[in-house]
Amino acid sequence: MSWIKKFIILSFAFTFTLSISILALELISRVFVPYDIDFEANGYGIIRDLEISFDVSNLYASDNSKVVYSRDEFGLRKGCDNVGDVKMLTLGGSTTDQRYLSQTSTYQSQLQNLVEKSMDKDFCIANAGFDGHTTHANLFVLKKLLPEVSPELRPNYVLLYTGLNDATFFYFANIGWRKNFKDFLKNFRIVQIILPYYRYLTFEQDNNVDGFVGHKRKIYKLEDYTVKEIHPNIENLNSPAIQRYEQNLSELLAEIEDIGAAAICVTQFHKYAKNIDGFRYGINEFMKEGFSGLDFDYILQNINEVTLRLCDPKNTIELSENMFDEDDLYDGVHTTPKGSGRIAEILYYELEKRWGF
C-alpha cells in the first residue's frame, strides 16, 4: 500500500473518530446540561458572580496599575448592596461595561456620586452593559435575564447608551466566513458550555487586542485621518444595521415602559472620524474589506438619528467627540477614568436640567 493511500485511510479514520466523539459529547451535553436562563446567558457572554483583576498599565496612566472587575450574582456592577435599591439601570456594550475601569471610576459610579450629593439621599445606579452587546443582547438582559434572576429589580430609570456595536453588527454578519463559522459553532451545546471558560481565559488578553472589538491603546493623530470618501458599498451595511437597530430599540423602549420606568437615551461618539478644515475625514482600514472610520461614522450617525427619533430629543442626551479631550479615551471609543468622569458630568448636567435631579 502506497503512503498516499495510507495517509488517506488514516485521515479518514481520524476524522470519523473525531466526528463520532464530538457527536457523543454533544448528545451527552444535551441530555445532562439543561437549557435554562443561565445557559442562555452564557451564549450572550454575560458574566455573573465573578471577580477578576486586570493590569491596565498599558491602557492609561493611573496610580494603580491593577483594577478589580466584578459582577454580582445578577450580572450587575452596582453602587449598592440590595438590588431592590437600584434607581437607575444602564444598558449598552463595552462603553457601558467599562471592563478595564474600577467600579468607582465608571461613569455610573461617578454619576451616582454627583446625584447623591445633589439630592442628599441614596441613588443607586446599576450597570448591566457587557462587552460586545448590541441592542439585541440588551433586550435579552432587560426582558428575560433580569426579571428571572432579580425580580425585585424595579428601576425608575433605564439609561440606554447604545449604537456602537449595532453600527458594525451587520458588517460582521455579512462579510467574511469567520462570522458564519462562529455562528455555526455556537449551535453546538458543547461549544456553548466551553465558551464561558474560553472568555475567562482571554479576559487578560483583550486589553492588548487591536481593532474595533479590542481594547488596545491607540491614540489617533491628525495624519491618521486620510479617508474623505464613503465606501461605494456602504449602504449594504447601513440599511440592514439601521433596520435591526430600529426594531431592537423599539422593543427596548416598549419593555422599559412595561416595567414602569422612564427611558433615557444617550447617543454614542467615537474618534474614528474627524472634522478637518471643514471636511470630514476617517482613519484608513478601520474595518476589513476597505471600510474606513468614515464609513463607520456614517452608519453611527444614522443610528444616532434613529435614537433621537424613537426616544424623542427631550429624552435623549447627545454626546460628540468634540466634548472630550485626547486623554479621555485610550482608543477610539473606550474611556479612561477621566473620560468616564466627563460622561458623568454631562449626564448629570442634563439630568438636573431636564429631570430635576
**pLDDT tens per residue, range 233-275:** 888 889 999 999 999 999 999 999 999 999 999 999 999 999 9
pLDDT band for 2, please (50, 70, 90 cuts): confident
For residue 183, name the pLDDT band (cuts at 50, 70, 90). low
**What are the residues facing 161 on neighbouring strands?**
92, 266
Give the pLDDT of residue 273: 96
Residues 96/141, Cβ–Cβ less than 8 Å: no
Please write the tens of the pLDDT for every residue from 287-334.
766 789 999 999 999 999 999 999 999 999 999 999 999 999 999 999
d(C-alpha 15, C-alpha 310), whole Å: 52
> What letter does residue 310 receive in the DSSP assignment?
H
Rounded Cα gap, residues 17 and 153, in angstroms: 49
Q: What is the CA radius of gyration of the chain?
A: 22
Sheet (strand 279-283) strand order: 225-227, 279-283, 273-276
331 or 11, which is more confident: 331
Confidence category of residue 204, pLDDT binned at 50, 70, 90: low
Q: At what angle are helices 3-32 and 189-206 packed, to 10 degrees?
A: 100
**Tens digit of each residue's pLDDT (9 = 90 or more) over 100-154:** 999 999 999 999 999 999 999 999 999 999 998 999 999 999 999 999 999 999 9
Say yes or no to pLDDT of 344 above 90: yes
Place domain 33-355 in its CATH homologous superfamily: SGNH hydrolase (3.40.50.1110)
Which stretch of DSSP H or E encloses residue 114? helix 107-119
Q: Where are the domains of the chain?
A: 33-355
Mean pLDDT over 4-33 rounds to 73
- 8 A C-beta contact, residue 357 and residue 118: yes
Position 16 scores a pLDDT of 75
Is 27's pLDDT higher than 90?
Answer: no
Instruction: Decide: 49 and 71 in contact? Cβ < 8 Å.
Output: yes
> Is the full-model pTM beyond 0.85?
yes
What integer pLDDT is reported at residue 207 of this predicted model?
58
pLDDT in tens, 101-112: 999 999 999 999
Residue 209: pLDDT over 70: no
Q: Which secondary-structure segment (H or E) carries 137?
A: helix 135-140
* Cβ–Cβ under 8 Å, residues 135 and 256: no
Identify which has the larger pLDDT, 40 or 26. Answer: 40
Render pLDDT for 70-96 as a digit per residue (tens, 0 to 9): 999 999 999 999 999 999 999 999 999
In this prediction, residue 202 has a pLDDT band, given cuts at 50, 70 and 90, of low
* Per-residue pLDDT at 291: 86
State the amino acid at position 137 in one-letter form.
A
pLDDT of amino acid 187:
66
pLDDT, mean of residues 196-204? 60
Percent of the chain clearing pLDDT 70 (strictly above): 84
Closest CA to 161 of 313, 273, 319, 46: 319
Residue 192: pLDDT band with limits 50, 70, 90: low
Q: How far apart are CA 279 and CA 160, in angstroms?
A: 30
278: left (phi over 0), alpha (psi -120 to 50) or beta: left
pLDDT band (50, 70, 90) for residue 214: confident
Residue with cell 432587560: 142
Which residues fall within 8 angstroms of residue 75, CB to CB, at 6 or more apart? 41, 46, 47, 48, 128, 130, 141, 145, 146, 149
Question: What are the distances in angstroms from CA 146 to CA 99, 130, 139, 164?
Answer: 20, 14, 10, 23
Give the three cell numbers for residue 326: 485626547
Q: Backbone dihedral region of 163: left (phi > 0), alpha (psi from -120 to 50 degrees) or beta?
A: left
Residue 208 has what pLDDT? 57
User: Going by DSSP bridges, is the β-strand pair 124-127/86-92 parallel, antiparallel, or unpaired?
Assistant: parallel
Q: Is 60 exceeded by the pLDDT of residue 210?
A: no
